[in-house]
Amino acid sequence: MKELKAFFTKSPTGGIFLALMLVCVLFSSMTSRFLTTTNLSVILNQVSVNAILAFGVTFVIIAGGIDLSLGSLVAVCGVVVALLSQNNDYSLWLAIIGTLVAGLALGALNGIIVVLTKVPPFIVTLGTMTIGRGMALILSKGRPISDLNESLNFLGNGDLFGIPIPILFLVLSYGTCHLLLTKTVFGRYVKAIGGNEMASYVAGVRVNRIKLYVYMISGLFAALAGILLTARINTGQPNAGLGFELDAIAAVIIGGTSTRGGKGTITGTLLGVLFIGVINNGLDLINVSAYWQQVIMGGIIILAVVLDGLYQKLKMNI
């Protein structure tokens, strides 16, 4: 009981956890189809791509930056993995590794421009977002790429020990990112430069290097998300991933990561992703029209952040 109270009052993710539970209770009371093992598995499967993107961009946002190119990177990497695994030209492993390297390189491009030009990351990644979309169209010649290696399809739709592969990737990514942020030297540096860049530099942190790394991580996870998406729909779509960056960033913010940098958690991001996923799923189940879903979703995102702000203030007085 004490631990439970401590979780809600001390942990930075207590607020969003409470909100998530609340919407779950709400939807379960409205429809019996919500709280079933199948449906929960569907939700996890649906959010896996957004979750993986959001984990990666959490590092960028905590370091005080932003990455708007995510959706485009998903498209480019989705096209790249499709091209590499078309007609079984290369082995699947090579295709995957090649795509991840491409993601790292595109992330590094973001990072290098941010570090060298000192142009705000918002502008830089707005630019690379457009560049990325163009590259996806160039590489695919504007057409969907099909006839992919069958083992790739397995990554998107298969399961291992009864657990869908995308969910396994979600869990694995969560664990890796959580450890990276909370336990490693790198994670500490990310929080430090987000908290006070100048002070970190003076304290001896290689600020530029760390900034480059966070964009590379963001690119790497965008590549992973691109692979999973292509695997799921079994085609490389140059128009895939439109607006994905906004969903990912929304999840990070709902999860309690400060837009000004310096603080945030991967667990919070996961809860943010689930929050968005549960609402999308629940609204579907209770037959809300797709148009209204968008209106409701936007309202809920704002409400969640406002309530979290109030909750944090309340917590201070406990």
Partner 1 sequence: MAMQDCLLKIKGISLEFSGTPILKSVNLSLNQGEIHALVGENGAGKSSLFKCILGIISPSQGEIIFLNESLSGYPIREILRKGIAMIHQELMLIPELTVAENIFLGRESIAGKRMGLREINEATSDLFQEYELDIPVGAFVKDLSIAHQQIIEIMRSVSQKACLILMDEPTSSLTEKEVIFFKQLIFRLKSEGISIVFTSHKMDEVFGFSDKISVLRDGEMVGTFSKVEVNPMSLVQKMVGREMKDFYPKALSEVGQQILRVDDLSCVPHFEHVNFTLCAGEVLGLSGLVGAGRSDIGQVLFGIKKKTSGQMSLKGQAYNPENPSEALQAGLGYLGEDRKEMGIIPEMNITENMSLGLLDTYRKFFFVDQTRESADSIDMQAQLSIHSAKEGQRIQNLSGGNQQKVLFGRILLNNPEVLILDEPTRGIDVMSKFEIYTLILALKKQGKAILLISSDLPELLAMSDRVIVISKGKQMAEMTREEASPEKILEYALH
* Residue ranges in contact with partner 1 by CB under 8 A: 180, 183-186, 188-189, 191-192, 195-196, 198-206, 262-263, 317
- Closer of 144 and 195 to partner 1 (Cβ): 195
Burial class of residue 308, CB neighbours in 10 A (0-12, 13-18, 19+):
buried
Smallest gap, in angstroms, from Cβ of residue 265 to partner 1?
A: 12
- Closer of 112 and 131 to partner 1 (Cβ): 112
- Closer of 117 and 184 to partner 1 (Cβ): 184
Smallest gap, in angstroms, from Cβ of residue 125 to partner 1?
A: 24
**Distance in angstroms (rounded) separating the CA atoms of residues 257 and 253:** 5
Smallest gap, in angstroms, from Cβ of residue 25 to partner 1?
A: 33
Smallest gap, in angstroms, from Cβ of residue 82 to partner 1?
A: 33
**Distance in angstroms (rounded) separating the CA atoms of residues 294 and 83:** 33
Three-class SS state of 163: strand
- Closer of 154 and 201 to partner 1 (Cβ): 201
- Closer of 198 and 290 to partner 1 (Cβ): 198
Query: Under 8 Å CB-to-CB from 145, ≥6 apart: which residues?
Result: 79, 82, 83, 86, 235, 236
Smallest gap, in angstroms, from Cβ of residue 64 to partner 1?
A: 12
Query: Under 8 Å CB-to-CB from 149, ≥6 apart: which residues?
Result: 85, 86, 87, 88, 92, 95
Phi-psi region of 101 (alpha: psi -120 to 50; beta: other; left: phi over 0): alpha
